[in-house]
Every structure is written in structure tokens, then in C-alpha cells.
Structure 1
Amino acid sequence: MVKIAVLMAEGYEESETLTIVDILRRAEITCDTFYFGEKLVKGMHGMYVEGDKAFGEEVKEYDMIVLPGGRPGGQNLKENPEVIKMVQYFNDQNKYIGAMCSGTTVLSDAGVIEGKRVTGYTGYAEKLIGGIFEEEVVVADQNLVTSQGPATPYPFAYKIAEIFGKDTAVLRERMLYNFAGGK
């Protein structure tokens, strides 16, 4: 059974984070949110969401770690040395790492994007040092899946589900994704 850990630092972007978790769970993937400190985590727009589990060594048991964006959510992830170590651990184990928006900057600080194709929020090309920046909505290269920002959690989550062997065609139809012109 595939397990994905989504990290929720204070200031996470609510629409990115909750959409990713929702889609992955609809795709029948175990997806847990991990919090730092308090179980109720305040997002960048003031919404509080209760995290599933406290961040710690248990994350290493997961198949993928996801770093959503948000200001200051991405920065809070980036400034946490335990998050940097966990991202490096996942990379060293060749496990999947996903990041979108400001969460992508954690990848650069962790030194895991060298020579890999990545994308990120508008203007982040210079922040993703060592990566090969692409102007695409979602980029998957080796063990990394990156996405641009708040408008891209749907294609990002669908790509993650597909990497783990899920056919997202029915899910996309049920969620009217194709009808709405999603890419």
C-alpha cells in the first residue's frame, strides 16, 4: 500500500494542501498530513486544519514526502533542519519527493535538485539552484515531482497518483477536470 506524507508547517497554502490530500485520498492512496508543534495548524489565509500526525521518524516509512507551498509555509519548512534532513533522506533512498510553489525552494536548500528538471512559482528559476527550470505546470524527473503554484494542485496530485500506478481518468471525469479544461 502506497503512503504519502504531506507536511503542514504554519502558513501552508490551504487550497494547495487540502486539494492535494483530497485527490490522493480519492485515488485510494494513504495520505497523511504531518504537523510541527500544535496539531491545529494555521494556514496562510487563517484557516486552521487539524494535522493527522506529528512530524518525526515515522515519515521515513512513507513512499513519498510532499512539501506544499504557502507564505510563510514554504519558508517555515525550509528553515527547519529536520525537514531538510528528511528530504535528503528521501533523496538518498531514491524515494519520491513532491513540492509545489514555495515548497520547491526546500529542494534547492536540501541539495536534491542538481541536474534534475524542476518547476516552481513564477520567478523561482533563480531560487531553484542546481535544477533545470522548466516553464511547465508539473514536472516529473527521476524521484522529483514539482509544480508551479496555487492553480496547479490538481495536475500535481494527478501526476503523483499516476506515478504510483493509479489511473486518474475516471477521477478526472468525476471531478469535472477535463470539462473545465484542465491540463
Structure 2
Amino acid sequence: MNKIAVLMAEGFEEGETLTIVDILRRAGLVCDMIYFGDKLVKGMHGMYVEGDKAFGEAVKEYEMIVLPGGRPGGQNLKENPEVIKMVQYFNNNNKYIGAMCSGTVVLSDANVIEGKKVTGYTGYAEKLIGGIFINEVVVADQNIVTSQGPATPYPFAYKIAEVFGKDTAVLRERMLYNFAGGK
């Protein structure tokens, strides 16, 4: 069974993080929320969410690591040397890495996007050093899947599910994504 680790640093963007986890679980994937320190993590908007598992070596057992955004969530991920090492481990072992919004800045610091197409929050073209910035909602290139921001976790999560071989057509219909104008 495919396992995805979604990292929740303090200041994580609640809407992005919880939507990603919700959709991936609906798609039948194992998706754990990984916390640092306290199991109860404070999000960007003051909401506390209980994580599933603590960050550590066991994260290496997952097939994908996901870095959501948030202020200062993305920055907190970027400033954690253990997160940088883990992202590099995933890249060096041809495992998937997903990032959206401010979480994408971790990819530059980890040096895992050199020559790869990426996207990120508005104005992040100059922050995603080494990557080829594409102004699209979701960009997947090799082992990297990126997305832009708070309005984009639905297509981002659907793309991740598809990377793992899931047909998201029925899920999109059941969630009224197509009805709402999603592409």
C-alpha cells in the first residue's frame, strides 16, 4: 500500500494540509500527518490539529513526502535541517516529493529541483532557484509535484493520487469538483 507523509510544522496552512490529507485518504491511500515536537500542532490560523506520527527515521518508509505551505509553516520546514536531509533522501532514492505554496521553498534549499519544472505561490519564480518555473496550478516533473497556493490543494491532491495510479474521475464527481468548475 502506498504511504504518504504530510509534514505539519507549526504555522502550517490548515486549508491546504487538511484538504490534501482528506482527498488522499478518500482515494484509498495511506496518508499520515507528521508532527514535530508536540502532537497537537498550531496552524497558521490558530487551529490546532493532532498529528498522526512523529517526524523521524520512520518517514523514510513512505513513498512520498508532502510539504504544505503556511506562515510560518513553510519557513519552519525550510529552517529545519532534518527536513532538508529527508527531502534529499527522498530525491536521492527516487521517491516522490510534493510541495505547495510556501512549502515549495524547501525544494530549492534541498537542491532537488535543478532542471525540473515546478510551480509555487505568486512571486516564487525567483525563490525556486534551479527549477524551471511554470505558471500552472499543478506541475509534475519526474519525482516532484508542486502547486501554487491555498486555492489549489484539490487539483494538487488529485495529481498525487494519480501519480500512485488512482483514477480520480469518480472521486472528482463525488466531491462535486467538476460541478464547481475544477479542471
TM-score computed with the length of structure 2 as normaliser: 1.00
What does 1:111-150 align with in structure 2 at a 5 Å threshold?
111-150=111-150
1:11 and 1:132 mapped to 2: Cα distance? Answer: 27
1:3 and 1:150 mapped to 2: Cα distance? Answer: 23
| TM superposition shift of 1:100 | 0.1
TM-score computed with the length of structure 1 as normaliser: 1.00
Partner deviation per Cα, 1:159-181 (whole Å, 9 max, x = no partner): 00001000000000000000000
1:182 and 1:95 mapped to 2: Cα distance? Answer: 28
| TM superposition shift of 1:39 | 0.3
Task: Tell me how large the CA RMSD over aligned residues is.
Answer: 0.3
1:34 and 1:130 mapped to 2: Cα distance? Answer: 27
Equivalenced residues, count:
183
1:100 and 1:182 mapped to 2: Cα distance? Answer: 18
2:171 and 2:46 mapped to 1: Cα distance? Answer: 30
**Could you say which residue in structure 2 is the equivalent of 1:156?**
156
SS in 2 for 1:125: helix
| TM superposition shift of 1:134 | 0.3
| TM superposition shift of 1:102 | 0.2
1:73 and 1:59 mapped to 2: Cα distance? Answer: 19
SS in 2 for 1:158: helix
SS in 1 for 2:60: helix
**Could you say which residue in structure 2 is the equivalent of 1:77?**
77
Could you tell me which runs of 5 or more consecutive residues in structure 1 were left unpaired when the two chains were aligned. none
Q: Which amino acid aligns with 1:177?
A: Y
1:54 and 1:163 mapped to 2: Cα distance? Answer: 25
Partner deviation per Cα, 1:82-126 (whole Å, 9 max, x = no partner): 000000000000100000000000000000000000000000000
Which ranges of 4 or more aligned residues in structure 1 deviate by more than 2 Å?
A: none
Q: Which amino acid aligns with 1:181?
A: G
**Could you say which residue in structure 2 is the equivalent of 1:170?**
170
**Could you say which residue in structure 1 is the equivalent of 2:35?**
35
Could you tell me which runs of 5 or more consecutive residues in structure 2 were left unpaired when the two chains were aligned. none
What does 1:89-108 align with in structure 2 at a 5 Å threshold?
89-108=89-108
